[in-house]
Protein backbone atom coordinates (compact mmCIF):
# COMPACT_ATOMS: atom_id res chain seq x y z
CA UNK A 1 0.00 0.00 0.00
CA UNK A 2 1.16 3.51 -0.74
CA UNK A 3 -0.18 6.83 0.53
CA UNK A 4 0.24 10.52 0.02
CA UNK A 5 2.64 12.23 2.42
CA UNK A 6 -0.25 12.87 4.84
CA UNK A 7 -3.60 11.09 5.23
CA UNK A 8 -4.79 12.97 8.33
CA UNK A 9 -7.79 14.45 6.48
CA UNK A 10 -8.57 11.39 4.39
CA UNK A 11 -8.75 8.89 7.28
CA UNK A 12 -11.59 10.56 9.25
CA UNK A 13 -13.54 10.89 5.98
CA UNK A 14 -12.93 7.21 5.19
CA UNK A 15 -14.04 6.14 8.67
CA UNK A 16 -17.20 8.25 8.37
CA UNK A 17 -17.93 6.81 4.92
CA UNK A 18 -17.42 3.26 6.17
CA UNK A 19 -20.10 3.83 8.79
CA UNK A 20 -22.55 4.91 6.07
CA UNK A 21 -21.96 2.09 3.56
CA UNK A 22 -24.94 -0.20 3.13
CA UNK A 23 -24.71 -3.93 2.36
CA UNK A 24 -24.58 -4.63 -1.37
CA UNK A 25 -27.52 -6.44 -2.86
CA UNK A 26 -27.18 -9.50 -5.06
CA UNK A 27 -29.10 -8.78 -8.25
CA UNK A 28 -26.88 -10.97 -10.46
CA UNK A 29 -28.06 -14.50 -11.20
CA UNK A 30 -25.83 -17.37 -12.28
CA UNK A 31 -28.33 -19.68 -13.94
CA UNK A 32 -25.87 -22.52 -14.58
CA UNK A 33 -24.46 -22.89 -11.06
CA UNK A 34 -27.63 -21.51 -9.44
CA UNK A 35 -26.35 -18.71 -7.21
CA UNK A 36 -26.90 -14.98 -6.79
CA UNK A 37 -24.02 -12.50 -6.79
CA UNK A 38 -23.38 -8.78 -6.31
CA UNK A 39 -22.92 -7.01 -9.63
CA UNK A 40 -20.74 -3.95 -10.18
CA UNK A 41 -23.93 -1.84 -10.04
CA UNK A 42 -24.91 -3.42 -6.69
CA UNK A 43 -21.47 -2.53 -5.34
CA UNK A 44 -21.63 0.98 -6.79
CA UNK A 45 -25.04 1.67 -5.25
CA UNK A 46 -23.90 0.43 -1.83
CA UNK A 47 -20.59 2.29 -1.64
CA UNK A 48 -20.56 5.41 -3.82
CA UNK A 49 -23.15 7.54 -1.97
CA UNK A 50 -21.13 7.22 1.26
CA UNK A 51 -17.83 7.98 -0.47
CA UNK A 52 -19.17 11.03 -2.29
CA UNK A 53 -20.92 12.38 0.82
CA UNK A 54 -17.52 12.37 2.53
CA UNK A 55 -15.64 13.97 -0.41
CA UNK A 56 -13.99 10.69 -1.45
CA UNK A 57 -13.58 9.17 -4.91
CA UNK A 58 -12.11 5.90 -6.12
CA UNK A 59 -10.35 4.91 -9.33
CA UNK A 60 -9.13 1.58 -10.72
CA UNK A 61 -6.39 1.02 -13.28
CA UNK A 62 -5.69 -2.42 -14.75
CA UNK A 63 -1.96 -3.08 -14.89
CA UNK A 64 -1.96 -6.63 -16.28
CA UNK A 65 -4.41 -9.17 -17.72
CA UNK A 66 -3.24 -12.78 -17.64
CA UNK A 67 -5.05 -15.41 -19.72
CA UNK A 68 -5.44 -18.57 -17.63
CA UNK A 69 -5.77 -22.09 -19.08
CA UNK A 70 -9.10 -22.84 -20.75
CA UNK A 71 -11.30 -25.47 -19.16
CA UNK A 72 -14.01 -27.70 -20.50
CA UNK A 73 -17.43 -27.21 -18.92
CA UNK A 74 -19.75 -30.04 -17.86
CA UNK A 75 -21.71 -29.54 -21.08
CA UNK A 76 -18.60 -29.76 -23.26
CA UNK A 77 -18.16 -26.04 -23.91
CA UNK A 78 -14.94 -24.11 -23.42
CA UNK A 79 -14.62 -21.54 -20.66
CA UNK A 80 -11.90 -18.88 -20.79
CA UNK A 81 -10.52 -17.35 -17.60
CA UNK A 82 -8.41 -14.28 -16.91
CA UNK A 83 -6.69 -12.85 -13.87
CA UNK A 84 -6.70 -9.06 -13.71
CA UNK A 85 -4.09 -7.17 -11.70
CA UNK A 86 -4.61 -3.50 -10.94
CA UNK A 87 -4.32 -0.55 -8.63
CA UNK A 88 -7.16 1.06 -6.66
CA UNK A 89 -6.69 4.64 -5.52
CA UNK A 90 -8.97 6.25 -2.91
CA UNK A 91 -8.72 10.04 -3.07
CA UNK A 92 -9.99 12.84 -0.83
CA UNK A 93 -10.84 16.34 -2.06
CA UNK A 94 -7.88 17.59 0.00
CA UNK A 95 -5.52 15.83 -2.41
CA UNK A 96 -4.64 13.04 0.03
CA UNK A 97 -4.79 9.47 -1.28
CA UNK A 98 -4.30 5.79 -0.47
CA UNK A 99 -3.37 3.29 -3.17
CA UNK A 100 -3.36 -0.51 -3.07
CA UNK A 101 -2.74 -3.34 -5.52
CA UNK A 102 -5.61 -5.73 -6.20
CA UNK A 103 -6.29 -8.79 -8.34
CA UNK A 104 -9.28 -10.86 -9.31
CA UNK A 105 -10.38 -13.55 -11.72
CA UNK A 106 -13.22 -13.84 -14.15
CA UNK A 107 -14.52 -16.49 -16.54
CA UNK A 108 -16.50 -16.36 -19.74
CA UNK A 109 -17.79 -18.75 -22.36
CA UNK A 110 -16.80 -16.26 -25.08
CA UNK A 111 -15.44 -17.71 -28.29
CA UNK A 112 -11.82 -16.66 -27.69
CA UNK A 113 -9.51 -15.58 -24.84
CA UNK A 114 -9.40 -11.92 -23.81
CA UNK A 115 -6.93 -9.69 -25.59
CA UNK A 116 -6.20 -6.19 -24.43
CA UNK A 117 -6.89 -3.46 -27.03
pLDDT of residue 114: 57
Asked whether residue 117 is assigned to any structural domain, the reply reads: no
Domain that holds residue 39: 2-108
Which tens digit of pLDDT belongs to each residue from 30-77?
A: 887 788 999 999 999 999 999 999 999 999 999 999 989 988 877 788
- For the chain, how many structural domains are there in total? 1
Asked whether residue 115 is assigned to any structural domain, the reply reads: no
| Cβ neighbours for 22, distance < 8 A, ≥ 6 positions apart | 46, 50
pLDDT of residue 70: 87
| Rounded distance between C-alpha atoms, residue 84 and residue 57, angstroms | 21
pLDDT for residue 106 is more than 90: no
Read off the pTM: 0.76
| Cβ neighbours for 31, distance < 8 A, ≥ 6 positions apart | none
Asked whether residue 116 is assigned to any structural domain, the reply reads: no
Asked whether residue 9 is assigned to any structural domain, the reply reads: yes
pLDDT of residue 81: 87
Amino acid sequence: MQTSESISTLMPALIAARGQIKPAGKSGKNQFDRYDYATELDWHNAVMPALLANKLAMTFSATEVVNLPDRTTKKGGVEHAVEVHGVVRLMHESGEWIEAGVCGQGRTAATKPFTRP
